[in-house]
A and B are shown apart, each in its own frame.
Chain A
Amino acid sequence: MFVNIYILAGSGGAAVPLILHLLARARYRNVDWGAMMFLNGISPRQSQSARLKQWALLGLRMLLVALIAVALARPIAGARWAEVGTEARVRAVIILDRSASMGLEEAGKSRLEKAKEAALGVLSALRRGDEVALVLMGEQIEVKDPKANLQAAARDVSEVQITSGSADVAAALEEARNILQQEGRFGRELYLICDQQAVSWRNVGGRGLDTRWLRNPRAPVRFYVAPVGGAEAENVAIESVEAADAITVRRHPTELEVRLRNYGSHARTGVELSISSNPPTRRRPTTVPVNLPARGTTTVRVPMTFDRSGSHIVTATVRASDLDIDNRLDSVVEVMEPLQAMIVSGDESGSELHRKSAFLRLALAPYQTRRGEAGDEAVVTVRTAEDWGLAPLGKYQVIILANVQEVSADLARALEQKVYEGGGLIVCPGALTQIDEYNNTLYRDGQGLLPAKLSTPVAADGSEATTIGKLDGNHPVFRFRAGADWMPDAVVGRYFPATPRGDAKVLGFYDSGRPFLIEGRRGRGRVLLLTTSLDGDWSTLPLDGSMPEADARGRPGVPKHPFFLPFVQSMVQYVCAPLAPNRNLSPGESLGATFDTALASAELWRDDQPIGAAPIVAGGTQVRYTETRTPGIYRLQVRYKRGGTHSVYFVVQGSRGEPDLSGLSAQQWQGYQRLLGFSRIDPAREPIAARVAADRGGRELWLPLLVAAILMAMTELGLGRAWSREMA
């Protein structure tokens, strides 16, 4: 490689002696010579010897010119890239990986610490006048502009912290290109210091990444990749923590689902999983042992009851000797006050169990009904079909039509507005239901709330009785079945054949093949339509058909698979879910909260560090904040105008791609090396400063070449004289 490569063209001057030789030969002088006998007496051998010497001298002269040209071009031996000599100023970009995987400790030192050492090694190889820029990979790419103050750059390196996100090498290379392609006469150096995690390179090699600039001979770049850490892939991570129920109600028993993933190639047994809550629940933090298959997931359901409404930060922690950052996951569970449910009953006359609302009420508020100590999921209000129109619908989150005969147009509009605003509607037609009225006011040729058109119910004589044959186990409504394949034993004597509209979804079927449960959506709300009643008239569903036989002493058995109660509760939770505030956000997702009264102020904290005031919008009752790129636990503290404060928690969860620590294979390394043209340095084996200094400087050869040229000139002179020396 050459510092002044263009001067190398001067080596063409090596042809000059030859040209001069030929010109001189062509432009010879004539001399009338008297001593011809001494010329003509030269033997052929002497003549040939003389010619050889002549050519040797000519060759020496040509070589001499070429040697001088090469020396002036300042070749560098050992330098791997051109255009950089020992004196050229350097602009270096250091891409430093600070993603979550860099937090893995190996031999008592984290990967990030090793990376910092390597980066400082790079800085130590720079000289006064050189510039360095930092590109930090992680949750977001952070660029620190080029600076000549190397000490300040070293401080920047030392202050780098782990972020929760994953690295994106392709994006970092784009940032580096912007820096290195700026105009200027300087050597360009690029250092990528990262771990061997393959997921970081996922976008390299894609169509969007231009790599030609790395191989531009006019602006060559010395590119080094220094991977730190091993290719270890054993890691257990908590993937998700969420409430099993769509709505979590105060004092209502619920479950938390924690999903763990083992990224390693070996199964893990007895991994300790701990669950805690803040504010704390009545129950002490739970610790359970979990077994994980190799490269697989395990879902653990942990029972939980929240005593207070409001934001609860639930933290799942797994004890594993691997990457720490994914061994803990925070999630916010917004615990609500019991749902306000209104059951519109078609007939409340008769004994309690004969009322159309009876079983529904029992299912939704068993403790209220029985005056137990635990919490009901809902506060149930029962209205008759005649007077329910007088009740304001606003306070109810879910309305259940239980065998109601008909719905007036006004009430249908009110229901529609309620659903569009996010409220829930469950329709359970029965013997009293007038299908024409329902179809006219609630279905309205598919434009209404009802997700299906009802037809005349099947024969009342039971000749078309059926059972429930198929349920969508993946749907949240049937989540309570925990993936089991059992079916309720209930017999459905009568039901309405229904024709679902195009956008409706059938969640369950009878054995007859006709829909059992149909979901529809309107606006922000959800509507569930059962095609049979839940008052015991047409089916044995309320009686929970999966009832074991009494024992030998006649004592009632415990139901193996309770269906009706969890089914009703699950339906109510599902249709009310849109009303549940979203407290678990992705980076960049808007953080918002709505309050009943006007706010005087709203302040935000992140991980107990104040951020500042949050914007209050919508007449002073809403807060909306969009700067949520940084993961963490956000606390929104509001002060009401009327007095009083209230805190709401949010969790912004970072990228979960980092837990996969699988490293690049040897073939992948080779492929990227070919594509990007980098040199790989192992900082553990080879001091990066020494390698860089050697590659940068190489060894300039101009001096030895010049000395060789001088010696050659002297040789040419000497030989020339020696070969024409006068004999004494």
Chain B
Amino acid sequence: MGFVSRYLDPALVEQLNQLQLSARSVVQGPTSGQHRSPIKGASVEFRQHRFYVPGDEPRRLDWRVLARTDRPYVKEYEEETNLRCVLMLDRSGSMAYGRQFGTKFDYAARLLAAMAYVMLGQTESVGVAMCGKGVESWLAPHAGPTQLGAVVNALEGSSPEGESDLGRAMHDVAERLERRALVIVLSDFFMPPEELRGGLAHLRHERHEVVWMQVVDRDEEQFPFRTWMRFRGLEGECGQLCEPVVLRRVYLEAFARHRRIIREMCLGLHAEFGSYVTDRPVLEALKQFVGRQGKA
């Protein structure tokens, strides 16, 4: 059993209590929560007026508007429901890099834990999928006070190693989810974009809301090395001895190009993409994530 405090710093928790997470699009959840539901119920929040058409229920007529305007309008309502979220964490070898601020995996894990904490506090369902060459461990989404511990245990039991096949993992998750959910993928996405496209498309086809959170180290983003280095692949790739300053430009071009491609891919499939550097505090990253939703 892992320590929650390892992933959720008490000071961080204080701040997280102020945060609310919501889904942009309408998702289905088993309980009433803060998220929009495509099922319009009776005790739900008024949404809008619509002109009466034959077949509408008379009880839905707005008599006050009729009295004022002599025209028949019916009320439509939104049913608030709870969020169902799956947090996918890439535990491939590349996530093990980290020079000054801990590994990307640790950062992503803390970010995952923070999001899980917030959402569980909002009585939302949170699940975790640890991804390697596929989904290597699955924690089905549940709400409740014990789910946080399960999340922490799932994190504790994993360490970054081996190759990754995130595309396949996303396919797995799409298959496992019976209902629409918010799928947040935390990874560095250091793989050919075409391998990710299929998984993303599958999730979107199932009408899941997908958020890709790219977690990178500042070194990977800026490639600041000057002296001769032998780069050894964390996922078993061939090492390379080189003078980084000479290859820096080419590297950065490739890095930026890759990021652009996956960003465009996300946009094209109506997914969200955000890049997070491990030297920024987790809370800041969360706020960035929440900010894209227009609600803090």
Residues in chain B near residue A53, CB distance under 8 A: 246
Would B230 and A29 count as touching, CB distance under 8 A?
Answer: yes
Residues in chain A near residue B220, CB distance under 8 A: 34-35
- The reply to whether the CB of A30 lies closer than 8 angstroms to some CB of chain B is yes
- The reply to whether the CB of A38 lies closer than 8 angstroms to some CB of chain B is yes
- The reply to whether the CB of B229 lies closer than 8 angstroms to some CB of chain A is yes
Residues in chain A near residue B230, CB distance under 8 A: 28-31
Query: Of the 9-residue stretches B40-48, B58-66, B91-99, B120-128, which lies at the interface with chain A?
Result: B91-99
Would B228 and A24 count as touching, CB distance under 8 A?
Answer: yes
Given the known interface contacts A29-B229, A727-B253, the answer about A34 and B94 at a Cβ–Cβ threshold of 8 Å is yes
Would B228 and A36 count as touching, CB distance under 8 A?
Answer: no
B216-238 CB mask vs A (1 if < 8 Å, else 0) is 11001011010111111111011
- The reply to whether the CB of B249 lies closer than 8 angstroms to some CB of chain A is yes
Residues in chain B near residue A25, CB distance under 8 A: 228, 241, 243
Would A33 and B254 count as touching, CB distance under 8 A?
Answer: no
User: Who on chain B is nearest to A29 by CB?
Assistant: B229
Please tell me which one of the listed residues A32, A39, A42, A50 contacts residue B97 in the complex, with CB atoms under 8 A apart.
A32
User: Who on chain A is nearest to B222 by CB?
Assistant: A726
User: Who on chain B is nearest to A39 by CB?
Assistant: B240
- In the assembled complex, how far is the CB of residue A572 from the closest CB belonging to chain B, in whole angstroms? 113
- In the assembled complex, how far is the CB of residue A720 from the closest CB belonging to chain B, in whole angstroms? 6
Residues in chain A near residue B233, CB distance under 8 A: 32-33, 36, 40
User: Who on chain B is nearest to A726 by CB?
Assistant: B252
Would B231 and A31 count as touching, CB distance under 8 A?
Answer: yes
Would B258 and A31 count as touching, CB distance under 8 A?
Answer: no
Would B228 and A42 count as touching, CB distance under 8 A?
Answer: no
State A727–B223 Cα separation when bound (angstroms): 12
Would A42 and B241 count as touching, CB distance under 8 A?
Answer: no
- The reply to whether the CB of B39 lies closer than 8 angstroms to some CB of chain A is no
State A268–B147 Cα separation when bound (angstroms): 138
Residues in chain A near residue B241, CB distance under 8 A: 25, 28
Please tell me which one of the listed residues A27, A33, A38, A720 contacts residue B228 in the complex, with CB atoms under 8 A apart.
A27
Number of residues of chain A lying within 8 A (CB) of chain B: 30
- The reply to whether the CB of B52 lies closer than 8 angstroms to some CB of chain A is no
Residues in chain B near residue A725, CB distance under 8 A: 248-249, 252
Would A32 and B227 count as touching, CB distance under 8 A?
Answer: no
- The reply to whether the CB of A552 lies closer than 8 angstroms to some CB of chain B is no
Would B234 and A32 count as touching, CB distance under 8 A?
Answer: yes
Please tell me which one of the listed residues A28, A36, A42 contacts residue B227 in the complex, with CB atoms under 8 A apart.
A28
Given the known interface contacts A29-B230, A31-B232, A35-B220, the answer about A42 and B250 at a Cβ–Cβ threshold of 8 Å is yes
- In the assembled complex, how far is the CB of residue A179 from the closest CB belonging to chain B, in whole angstroms? 60
Would B249 and A32 count as touching, CB distance under 8 A?
Answer: no
From residue 45 to 99 of chain B, which have CB atoms closer than 8 A to chain A? 93-97
Would B243 and A54 count as touching, CB distance under 8 A?
Answer: yes
Given the known interface contacts A28-B241, A39-B242, A41-B254, the answer about A50 and B234 at a Cβ–Cβ threshold of 8 Å is no
User: Who on chain B is nearest to A55 by CB?
Assistant: B246
User: Who on chain B is nearest to A51 by CB?
Assistant: B246
Residues in chain B near residue A24, CB distance under 8 A: 227-228, 243
- The reply to whether the CB of A37 lies closer than 8 angstroms to some CB of chain B is yes
- The reply to whether the CB of A724 lies closer than 8 angstroms to some CB of chain B is yes
Would A29 and B228 count as touching, CB distance under 8 A?
Answer: yes
- The reply to whether the CB of A182 lies closer than 8 angstroms to some CB of chain B is no
State A54–B242 Cα separation when bound (angstroms): 10
Residues in chain B near residue A726, CB distance under 8 A: 222, 248-249, 252
User: Who on chain A is nearest to B233 by CB?
Assistant: A36
State A656–B246 Cα separation when bound (angstroms): 83
State the B residues within 8 Å of A (CB): 93-97, 104, 188, 190-192, 216-217, 220, 222-223, 225, 227-235, 237-238, 240-256, 258
Nearest 8 A/B pairs, CB to CB: A34-B94, A724-B248, A34-B97, A28-B228, A33-B231, A36-B233, A36-B237, A38-B254
7 contacts between A and B (CB under 8 A): A24-B228, A24-B243, A31-B232, A35-B255, A39-B242, A42-B251, A724-B248
Please name 11 further chain A to chain B contacts, defined as beta carbons within 8 Å, in addition to the given A36-B237, A37-B254, A50-B250, sorted by A numbering: A24-B243, A28-B229, A28-B230, A31-B225, A32-B233, A33-B232, A36-B235, A36-B238, A42-B250, A720-B245, A724-B246
